[in-house]
Structure 1
Protein backbone atom coordinates (compact mmCIF):
# COMPACT_ATOMS: atom_id res chain seq x y z
CA UNK A 1 0.00 0.00 0.00
CA UNK A 2 1.30 3.48 -0.92
CA UNK A 3 2.61 5.58 1.93
CA UNK A 4 0.36 8.43 2.95
CA UNK A 5 2.01 11.83 2.81
CA UNK A 6 4.36 10.89 -0.04
CA UNK A 7 4.29 13.46 -2.85
CA UNK A 8 3.66 12.33 -6.37
CA UNK A 9 6.26 13.29 -9.04
CA UNK A 10 3.77 15.66 -10.65
CA UNK A 11 3.40 17.56 -7.39
CA UNK A 12 7.16 17.90 -6.99
CA UNK A 13 7.49 19.13 -10.58
CA UNK A 14 4.78 21.73 -10.01
CA UNK A 15 6.47 22.95 -6.83
CA UNK A 16 9.84 23.17 -8.57
CA UNK A 17 8.30 25.09 -11.47
CA UNK A 18 6.64 27.50 -9.05
CA UNK A 19 9.94 28.00 -7.25
CA UNK A 20 11.67 28.74 -10.55
CA UNK A 21 8.98 31.28 -11.41
CA UNK A 22 9.38 33.00 -8.06
CA UNK A 23 13.17 33.11 -8.51
CA UNK A 24 12.83 34.48 -12.05
CA UNK A 25 10.40 37.15 -10.88
CA UNK A 26 12.78 38.09 -8.06
CA UNK A 27 15.70 38.43 -10.51
CA UNK A 28 13.58 40.52 -12.87
CA UNK A 29 12.47 42.75 -10.00
CA UNK A 30 16.07 43.20 -8.86
CA UNK A 31 17.18 44.08 -12.40
CA UNK A 32 14.43 46.67 -12.64
CA UNK A 33 15.45 48.19 -9.32
CA UNK A 34 19.10 48.36 -10.38
CA UNK A 35 18.17 49.86 -13.75
CA UNK A 36 16.00 52.46 -12.05
CA UNK A 37 18.80 53.36 -9.65
CA UNK A 38 21.27 53.74 -12.53
CA UNK A 39 18.86 55.97 -14.48
CA UNK A 40 18.20 58.06 -11.38
CA UNK A 41 21.94 58.46 -10.78
CA UNK A 42 22.50 59.56 -14.38
CA UNK A 43 19.65 62.07 -14.18
CA UNK A 44 20.89 63.46 -10.87
CA UNK A 45 24.41 63.74 -12.29
CA UNK A 46 23.12 65.60 -15.36
CA UNK A 47 21.08 67.98 -13.20
CA UNK A 48 24.07 68.70 -10.98
CA UNK A 49 26.33 69.22 -14.01
CA UNK A 50 24.03 71.70 -15.73
CA UNK A 51 23.18 73.47 -12.48
CA UNK A 52 26.78 73.99 -11.41
CA UNK A 53 28.69 74.54 -14.66
CA UNK A 54 29.79 78.14 -15.19
CA UNK A 55 27.87 80.26 -17.71
CA UNK A 56 29.50 80.84 -21.12
CA UNK A 57 31.79 83.86 -21.16
CA UNK A 58 30.13 87.08 -22.20
CA UNK A 59 30.91 88.11 -25.75
CA UNK A 60 32.43 91.55 -26.19
CA UNK A 61 31.40 94.04 -28.86
CA UNK A 62 28.07 92.34 -29.59
CA UNK A 63 25.27 94.73 -30.44
CA UNK A 64 21.57 93.90 -30.66
CA UNK A 65 19.50 95.82 -33.19
CA UNK A 66 15.72 96.18 -33.49
CA UNK A 67 14.13 93.49 -35.64
CA UNK A 68 13.16 94.99 -39.01
CA UNK A 69 11.03 92.02 -40.00
CA UNK A 70 11.24 89.17 -42.48
CA UNK A 71 9.37 90.46 -45.54
CA UNK A 72 10.41 89.19 -48.96
CA UNK A 73 11.24 91.80 -51.57
CA UNK A 74 9.52 91.51 -54.93
CA UNK A 75 11.42 91.65 -58.22
CA UNK A 76 13.18 94.99 -58.83
CA UNK A 77 12.15 96.33 -55.43
CA UNK A 78 15.00 98.47 -54.06
CA UNK A 79 16.90 97.39 -50.99
CA UNK A 80 15.56 98.94 -47.78
CA UNK A 81 17.57 101.10 -45.42
CA UNK A 82 18.97 98.68 -42.87
CA UNK A 83 19.73 99.67 -39.29
CA UNK A 84 23.20 98.10 -39.17
CA UNK A 85 26.20 97.55 -41.41
CA UNK A 86 26.23 94.68 -42.28
CA UNK A 87 22.48 94.14 -41.98
CA UNK A 88 21.12 91.96 -39.20
CA UNK A 89 17.43 91.73 -40.13
CA UNK A 90 14.88 93.22 -42.46
CA UNK A 91 13.24 92.72 -45.86
CA UNK A 92 15.29 90.47 -48.11
CA UNK A 93 15.51 88.43 -51.27
CA UNK A 94 13.27 85.35 -51.46
CA UNK A 95 16.38 83.26 -52.26
CA UNK A 96 19.22 82.81 -49.74
CA UNK A 97 22.87 82.23 -50.59
CA UNK A 98 24.26 78.71 -50.15
CA UNK A 99 26.49 78.43 -47.11
CA UNK A 100 30.24 78.35 -47.56
CA UNK A 101 33.27 80.45 -48.50
CA UNK A 102 32.96 83.36 -50.93
CA UNK A 103 35.68 85.54 -52.44
CA UNK A 104 33.18 88.14 -53.63
CA UNK A 105 30.64 90.07 -51.53
CA UNK A 106 27.21 88.66 -50.75
CA UNK A 107 24.54 91.30 -51.31
CA UNK A 108 22.69 92.76 -48.35
CA UNK A 109 19.28 91.62 -49.51
CA UNK A 110 20.51 88.04 -49.88
CA UNK A 111 22.25 88.06 -46.49
CA UNK A 112 18.97 88.84 -44.78
CA UNK A 113 17.42 85.58 -45.93
CA UNK A 114 20.39 83.57 -44.68
CA UNK A 115 20.25 85.31 -41.30
CA UNK A 116 16.56 84.47 -41.11
CA UNK A 117 17.52 80.78 -41.41
CA UNK A 118 19.99 81.04 -38.54
CA UNK A 119 23.16 81.44 -40.61
CA UNK A 120 26.14 83.21 -39.04
CA UNK A 121 27.87 85.47 -41.58
CA UNK A 122 31.53 86.39 -41.12
CA UNK A 123 32.61 89.33 -43.29
CA UNK A 124 36.03 90.91 -43.53
CA UNK A 125 37.59 93.93 -45.14
CA UNK A 126 39.94 92.63 -47.87
CA UNK A 127 42.66 94.82 -46.35
CA UNK A 128 43.09 92.34 -43.46
CA UNK A 129 45.41 90.34 -45.71
CA UNK A 130 45.63 86.74 -46.78
CA UNK A 131 46.70 85.26 -43.44
CA UNK A 132 43.69 86.51 -41.48
CA UNK A 133 41.36 85.82 -44.39
CA UNK A 134 42.61 82.23 -44.46
CA UNK A 135 41.93 81.90 -40.72
CA UNK A 136 38.35 83.02 -41.21
CA UNK A 137 37.87 80.71 -44.17
CA UNK A 138 39.25 77.78 -42.18
CA UNK A 139 36.72 78.54 -39.44
CA UNK A 140 33.98 78.44 -42.07
CA UNK A 141 35.15 75.05 -43.32
CA UNK A 142 35.35 73.61 -39.82
CA UNK A 143 31.88 74.76 -38.75
CA UNK A 144 29.26 72.01 -39.06
CA UNK A 145 26.80 74.16 -41.05
CA UNK A 146 25.09 77.56 -41.23
CA UNK A 147 28.16 79.72 -41.92
CA UNK A 148 29.05 82.14 -44.69
CA UNK A 149 32.47 83.80 -44.94
CA UNK A 150 32.82 86.63 -47.44
CA UNK A 151 34.64 89.93 -48.08
CA UNK A 152 32.92 93.27 -47.54
CA UNK A 153 34.17 96.82 -47.89
CA UNK A 154 32.83 99.92 -46.20
CA UNK A 155 32.42 98.53 -42.68
CA UNK A 156 33.28 100.41 -39.50
CA UNK A 157 35.55 97.53 -38.44
CA UNK A 158 37.84 95.12 -40.23
CA UNK A 159 35.69 92.09 -39.36
CA UNK A 160 31.95 91.80 -38.69
CA UNK A 161 30.10 88.70 -37.55
CA UNK A 162 26.32 88.74 -37.86
CA UNK A 163 23.32 86.68 -36.86
CA UNK A 164 19.65 87.68 -36.73
CA UNK A 165 19.57 91.10 -34.93
CA UNK A 166 23.17 90.51 -33.67
CA UNK A 167 26.45 92.13 -34.75
CA UNK A 168 29.92 91.51 -33.33
CA UNK A 169 32.87 93.55 -34.57
CA UNK A 170 36.64 93.22 -34.31
CA UNK A 171 39.71 94.56 -36.07
CA UNK A 172 41.82 91.39 -35.93
CA UNK A 173 40.76 87.77 -36.03
CA UNK A 174 39.64 86.42 -32.65
CA UNK A 175 38.63 82.84 -33.36
CA UNK A 176 37.55 82.17 -29.77
CA UNK A 177 35.09 85.07 -29.93
CA UNK A 178 33.82 84.01 -33.37
CA UNK A 179 33.34 80.43 -32.18
CA UNK A 180 31.52 81.71 -29.10
CA UNK A 181 29.25 83.87 -31.24
CA UNK A 182 28.55 80.94 -33.53
CA UNK A 183 27.79 78.66 -30.60
CA UNK A 184 25.36 81.17 -29.13
CA UNK A 185 23.57 82.44 -32.23
CA UNK A 186 23.86 79.88 -35.05
CA UNK A 187 20.45 78.49 -36.02
CA UNK A 188 18.75 81.07 -33.82
CA UNK A 189 16.99 83.00 -36.58
CA UNK A 190 13.20 83.24 -36.82
CA UNK A 191 13.18 80.39 -39.36
CA UNK A 192 15.84 78.28 -37.68
CA UNK A 193 15.82 74.65 -38.72
CA UNK A 194 16.20 75.23 -42.45
CA UNK A 195 19.26 73.28 -43.57
CA UNK A 196 22.31 75.17 -44.86
CA UNK A 197 25.21 72.74 -45.31
CA UNK A 198 28.64 73.86 -46.51
CA UNK A 199 28.38 73.84 -50.31
CA UNK A 200 30.48 76.72 -51.73
CA UNK A 201 34.26 77.14 -51.45
CA UNK A 202 35.67 79.89 -53.63
CA UNK A 203 38.87 79.82 -51.61
CA UNK A 204 39.73 76.18 -52.27
Structure 2
Protein backbone atom coordinates (compact mmCIF):
# COMPACT_ATOMS: atom_id res chain seq x y z
CA UNK A 1 0.00 0.00 0.00
CA UNK A 2 1.38 3.38 -0.98
CA UNK A 3 2.06 5.99 1.66
CA UNK A 4 -0.56 8.33 0.12
CA UNK A 5 -3.24 5.67 0.24
CA UNK A 6 -2.24 4.77 3.78
CA UNK A 7 -2.56 8.42 4.84
CA UNK A 8 -5.99 8.70 3.20
CA UNK A 9 -7.17 5.60 5.06
CA UNK A 10 -5.85 6.95 8.35
CA UNK A 11 -7.59 10.32 7.79
CA UNK A 12 -10.78 8.49 6.85
CA UNK A 13 -10.58 6.45 10.03
CA UNK A 14 -9.98 9.56 12.13
CA UNK A 15 -12.90 11.39 10.49
CA UNK A 16 -15.15 8.36 10.94
CA UNK A 17 -14.25 8.26 14.61
CA UNK A 18 -14.95 11.96 15.03
CA UNK A 19 -18.33 11.61 13.30
CA UNK A 20 -19.19 8.60 15.42
CA UNK A 21 -18.35 10.48 18.60
CA UNK A 22 -20.37 13.51 17.45
CA UNK A 23 -23.39 11.35 16.67
CA UNK A 24 -23.10 9.62 20.02
CA UNK A 25 -22.90 13.01 21.74
CA UNK A 26 -25.96 14.22 19.79
CA UNK A 27 -27.88 11.11 20.81
CA UNK A 28 -26.96 11.67 24.45
CA UNK A 29 -27.98 15.34 24.20
CA UNK A 30 -31.33 14.46 22.63
CA UNK A 31 -31.92 11.77 25.22
CA UNK A 32 -31.14 14.25 27.99
CA UNK A 33 -33.33 16.97 26.48
CA UNK A 34 -36.25 14.68 25.76
CA UNK A 35 -35.88 12.99 29.10
CA UNK A 36 -35.67 16.33 30.89
CA UNK A 37 -38.66 17.65 28.98
CA UNK A 38 -40.57 14.51 29.86
CA UNK A 39 -39.74 14.93 33.54
CA UNK A 40 -40.77 18.59 33.47
CA UNK A 41 -43.99 17.73 31.65
CA UNK A 42 -44.74 14.95 34.12
CA UNK A 43 -44.10 17.34 37.02
CA UNK A 44 -46.44 19.94 35.49
CA UNK A 45 -49.17 17.37 34.91
CA UNK A 46 -48.79 16.10 38.47
CA UNK A 47 -48.93 19.62 39.91
CA UNK A 48 -52.03 20.50 37.86
CA UNK A 49 -53.69 17.25 38.91
CA UNK A 50 -52.96 17.99 42.57
CA UNK A 51 -54.36 21.53 42.26
CA UNK A 52 -57.48 20.32 40.44
CA UNK A 53 -58.01 17.51 42.92
CA UNK A 54 -57.64 19.92 45.82
CA UNK A 55 -60.05 22.38 44.21
CA UNK A 56 -62.63 19.65 43.61
CA UNK A 57 -62.27 18.37 47.17
CA UNK A 58 -62.64 21.90 48.56
CA UNK A 59 -65.70 22.53 46.39
CA UNK A 60 -67.28 19.25 47.47
CA UNK A 61 -66.55 19.94 51.13
CA UNK A 62 -68.05 23.42 50.81
CA UNK A 63 -71.16 22.06 49.10
CA UNK A 64 -71.55 19.49 51.86
CA UNK A 65 -71.11 22.14 54.57
CA UNK A 66 -73.75 24.28 52.86
CA UNK A 67 -76.27 21.44 53.17
CA UNK A 68 -75.91 21.40 56.94
CA UNK A 69 -77.27 23.93 59.46
CA UNK A 70 -74.68 26.65 60.03
CA UNK A 71 -73.95 27.34 63.67
CA UNK A 72 -74.68 30.88 64.84
CA UNK A 73 -77.18 31.84 62.13
CA UNK A 74 -80.24 33.77 63.31
CA UNK A 75 -83.37 33.46 61.18
CA UNK A 76 -86.26 35.88 60.74
CA UNK A 77 -89.61 34.91 59.22
CA UNK A 78 -92.66 36.69 57.81
CA UNK A 79 -90.74 39.69 56.50
CA UNK A 80 -92.64 42.28 54.48
CA UNK A 81 -91.49 43.04 50.94
CA UNK A 82 -93.06 46.35 49.96
CA UNK A 83 -91.28 48.97 47.86
CA UNK A 84 -91.28 52.21 49.82
CA UNK A 85 -89.82 55.69 49.49
CA UNK A 86 -89.73 56.60 53.16
CA UNK A 87 -86.88 55.58 55.45
CA UNK A 88 -87.10 52.15 57.07
CA UNK A 89 -85.70 51.38 60.52
CA UNK A 90 -84.63 47.75 60.54
CA UNK A 91 -84.43 45.90 63.88
CA UNK A 92 -81.22 44.18 62.80
CA UNK A 93 -77.93 45.73 61.74
CA UNK A 94 -77.79 45.54 58.85
CA UNK A 95 -81.35 44.72 57.81
CA UNK A 96 -82.15 41.13 56.87
CA UNK A 97 -85.37 41.88 55.01
CA UNK A 98 -88.55 43.91 55.11
CA UNK A 99 -89.79 46.90 53.15
CA UNK A 100 -87.11 48.37 50.92
CA UNK A 101 -86.26 50.68 48.04
CA UNK A 102 -87.56 49.99 44.55
CA UNK A 103 -83.99 49.85 43.22
CA UNK A 104 -81.52 47.27 44.44
CA UNK A 105 -77.80 47.74 45.02
CA UNK A 106 -75.61 45.99 42.48
CA UNK A 107 -73.61 43.06 43.79
CA UNK A 108 -70.03 44.34 43.90
CA UNK A 109 -67.26 45.38 46.27
CA UNK A 110 -67.77 48.78 47.91
CA UNK A 111 -65.32 50.69 50.09
CA UNK A 112 -68.00 52.98 51.55
CA UNK A 113 -71.35 52.16 53.19
CA UNK A 114 -74.17 51.47 50.74
CA UNK A 115 -77.86 52.33 50.84
CA UNK A 116 -79.32 49.86 53.32
CA UNK A 117 -82.80 49.76 51.81
CA UNK A 118 -81.34 49.12 48.38
CA UNK A 119 -79.13 46.35 49.74
CA UNK A 120 -82.15 44.71 51.39
CA UNK A 121 -83.75 44.66 47.94
CA UNK A 122 -80.62 42.83 46.73
CA UNK A 123 -81.19 40.24 49.45
CA UNK A 124 -84.68 39.71 48.06
CA UNK A 125 -83.01 38.74 44.75
CA UNK A 126 -80.88 36.10 46.45
CA UNK A 127 -77.79 38.15 47.24
CA UNK A 128 -75.54 37.70 50.25
CA UNK A 129 -74.50 40.99 51.84
CA UNK A 130 -71.22 40.89 53.75
CA UNK A 131 -70.54 43.90 55.94
CA UNK A 132 -67.63 44.76 58.22
CA UNK A 133 -66.65 47.42 60.71
CA UNK A 134 -64.20 50.07 59.46
CA UNK A 135 -61.74 48.90 62.14
CA UNK A 136 -61.37 45.46 60.51
CA UNK A 137 -57.70 44.79 59.61
CA UNK A 138 -56.89 45.31 55.94
CA UNK A 139 -55.77 41.71 55.39
CA UNK A 140 -59.21 40.53 56.47
CA UNK A 141 -60.89 43.08 54.19
CA UNK A 142 -58.72 41.73 51.37
CA UNK A 143 -59.87 38.18 52.11
CA UNK A 144 -63.51 39.27 52.08
CA UNK A 145 -62.91 41.13 48.82
CA UNK A 146 -61.59 37.98 47.16
CA UNK A 147 -64.59 36.05 48.42
CA UNK A 148 -66.99 38.65 47.05
CA UNK A 149 -65.26 38.80 43.67
CA UNK A 150 -65.60 35.02 43.34
CA UNK A 151 -69.40 35.20 43.49
CA UNK A 152 -71.73 37.29 41.34
CA UNK A 153 -74.40 37.34 44.05
CA UNK A 154 -72.31 38.83 46.87
CA UNK A 155 -72.01 42.49 47.79
CA UNK A 156 -69.41 43.70 50.25
CA UNK A 157 -69.37 47.00 52.11
CA UNK A 158 -68.34 48.55 55.42
CA UNK A 159 -71.03 49.25 58.02
CA UNK A 160 -70.38 51.99 60.56
CA UNK A 161 -73.18 50.86 62.86
CA UNK A 162 -72.72 47.12 63.34
CA UNK A 163 -71.05 45.78 66.47
CA UNK A 164 -69.58 42.49 65.22
CA UNK A 165 -66.41 42.70 63.10
CA UNK A 166 -68.11 40.91 60.18
CA UNK A 167 -71.73 40.13 59.40
CA UNK A 168 -73.02 37.89 56.61
CA UNK A 169 -76.65 38.53 55.73
CA UNK A 170 -79.14 36.84 53.41
CA UNK A 171 -82.90 37.38 53.23
CA UNK A 172 -84.19 36.40 56.67
CA UNK A 173 -80.80 35.12 57.87
CA UNK A 174 -77.81 36.67 59.56
CA UNK A 175 -74.47 35.33 60.77
CA UNK A 176 -72.14 37.40 62.99
CA UNK A 177 -68.45 36.59 62.63
CA UNK A 178 -65.24 37.60 64.34
CA UNK A 179 -62.75 36.75 61.61
CA UNK A 180 -62.67 36.48 57.82
CA UNK A 181 -60.97 33.08 58.11
CA UNK A 182 -64.03 31.56 59.75
CA UNK A 183 -65.10 28.73 57.38
CA UNK A 184 -68.75 29.41 58.16
CA UNK A 185 -68.72 32.51 55.98
CA UNK A 186 -67.96 30.50 52.83
CA UNK A 187 -70.58 27.94 53.77
CA UNK A 188 -73.09 30.76 54.30
CA UNK A 189 -72.33 32.20 50.86
CA UNK A 190 -72.53 28.77 49.22
CA UNK A 191 -75.85 28.13 50.92
CA UNK A 192 -77.54 31.46 50.26
CA UNK A 193 -76.03 33.20 47.22
CA UNK A 194 -78.62 32.91 44.42
CA UNK A 195 -80.58 30.55 46.63
CA UNK A 196 -83.87 29.17 45.27
CA UNK A 197 -85.28 29.96 48.73
CA UNK A 198 -84.89 33.72 48.18
CA UNK A 199 -88.20 35.60 47.68
CA UNK A 200 -87.23 36.41 44.07
CA UNK A 201 -84.73 33.73 43.02
CA UNK A 202 -82.81 34.35 39.79
CA UNK A 203 -83.70 38.05 39.83
CA UNK A 204 -80.64 40.10 38.79
CA UNK A 205 -78.03 41.59 41.08
CA UNK A 206 -76.88 43.95 38.35
CA UNK A 207 -78.65 46.80 36.62
CA UNK A 208 -79.52 48.51 39.90
CA UNK A 209 -77.57 51.25 41.64
CA UNK A 210 -73.90 51.36 42.62
CA UNK A 211 -74.25 51.84 46.33
TM-score normalized by the length of structure 1: 0.65
Residue in structure 1 matched with residue 124 of structure 2 by the alignment: 116
Cα-to-partner distance string for 1:18-50 (whole Å, 9 max, x where unaligned): xxxxxxxxxxxxxxxxxxxxxxxxxxxxxxxxx
Cα-to-partner distance string for 1:70-95 (whole Å, 9 max, x where unaligned): 10013xx2x22212111000111100
Residue 187 (structure 2) pairs with residue 195 (structure 1): no
Correspondent of 1:70 among 66, 76, 81: 81
Assess, with a 3 A threshold, how the Cα gap between structure 1 residues 167 and 147 changes in structure 2: closer, same or farther.
Answer: same
Alignment length, in residue pairs?
A: 146
Residue in structure 1 matched with residue 187 of structure 2 by the alignment: 180
DSSP-derived class of the 1:136 partner: helix
Assess, with a 3 A threshold, how the Cα gap between structure 1 residues 127 and 55 changes in structure 2: closer, same or farther.
Answer: closer
TM-score normalized by the length of structure 2: 0.63
Correspondent of 2:69 among 58, 68, 71: 58
Contact kept in structure 1, 2:105 and 2:208, CA below 8 Å: no
Residue 172 (structure 2) pairs with residue 162 (structure 1): no
RMSD: 2.6
Larger Rg: 2
Larger deviation, residues 87-96 vs 166-175: 166-175
Cα separation, 1, equivalents of 2:103 and 2:118: 7
Contact kept in structure 2, 1:147 and 1:198, CA below 8 Å: no
Cα separation, 2, equivalents of 1:134 and 1:156: 20
Cα separation, 2, equivalents of 1:97 and 1:180: 23
Residue in structure 1 matched with residue 94 of structure 2 by the alignment: 86
Cα separation, 2, equivalents of 1:182 and 1:198: 21
Contact kept in structure 2, 1:87 and 1:112, CA below 8 Å: yes
Deviation for aligned residue 1:130: 0.8
DSSP-derived class of the 1:123 partner: strand
Cα separation, 2, equivalents of 1:54 and 1:167: 17
Cα separation, 2, equivalents of 1:54 and 1:173: 17
**Structure 1: stretches of 5+ with no match in the other structure:** 1-52
- Structure 1 segments, 4+ long, off by >4 Å, are 197-202
Deviation for aligned residue 1:199: 10
